[in-house]
Amino acid sequence: MLNLIIFGPPGAGKGTQSEKLLAKYHLKHISTGDLLRAERSAGTELGNKANEYISKGELVPDEVVIGMVRNFISNHPEAPGFIFDGFPRTLPQATALDNMLLEFNAGISLVLGLEVDEDELVKRLLLRGITSGRADDQNEETIRNRFREYQNKTLPLQAFYKEQGKYSGVRGIGEVEAIFWDLCAEMDKVKKG
């Protein structure tokens, strides 16, 4: 199994690059943001609860997202590997993910970090808000809050994966295609290794 985490702050291009990576490497895509929005659209209790956090730009509690990911993995036993997009976002999520994958005798093969500075990210998110209709992309205060959450709770994961020798950072500014090829180069090192 080849399991990949696409890592980076909100607006770094994780969704865009995941789509391209999964087409090339035939992995199964799991985006916790997409799963939460689907729950919200379906009007489930989980979706309504999650929306209270999403609308403020706060992280949804760990046990909620961990449960969703566990279900997703067990519903796709045929997957040759996964791209985790927007997950894990906290240390407890990362250790829960390691434990889930251990059940399949697998682990995280690579963490690809998209590195983009904050001013560029705010610009991108406000622009995306116009087309995506996502309320959490339309309000600058919510966006700034999402960055605070990222800095405080998610960024420490970079050190966690660096210590394990699994983190590769790629500059996430420029042409989508050029960034994609940089990511592929990192992927191919792992596949050959």
Which residues carry out catalysis? 14, 89, 128, 134, 146
- How many residues touch ligand AMP under the rule CB under 6 A: the total is 17
Residue 62 to residue 155: CA distance in whole angstroms: 16
Shortest gap between Cβ of 87 and ligand AMP (angstroms)? 4
Pick the stretch among 81-89, 94-102, 107-115, 120-128 that binds ligand AMP (CB under 6 A): 81-89
Decide: is 108 part of the binding site for ligand AMP (CB under 6 A): no
Tokens linked to 89: 């976002």
Other Cβ atoms within 10 Å of 97 Cβ, number: 22
Tokens linked to 168: 């590769």
Pick the stretch among 87-95, 100-108, 165-173, 179-187 that binds ligand AMP (CB under 6 A): 87-95
Decide: is 65 part of the binding site for ligand AMP (CB under 6 A): yes
* Of residues 132 and 164, the one with the C-beta less far from ligand AMP: 132
Which H or E run includes 115?
A: strand 110-115
Among the listed residues 5, 39, 146, 157, the single contact to ligand AMP using CB under 6 A = 146
Nearest to 162 by CA among 97, 94, 102, 103: 94
Pick the stretch among 20-28, 59-67, 107-115, 181-189 that binds ligand AMP (CB under 6 A): 59-67
Which H or E run includes 128?
A: helix 118-132
Q: Is 78 helix (H, G, I), strand (E, B) or coil?
A: coil
Decide: is 60 part of the binding site for ligand AMP (CB under 6 A): yes
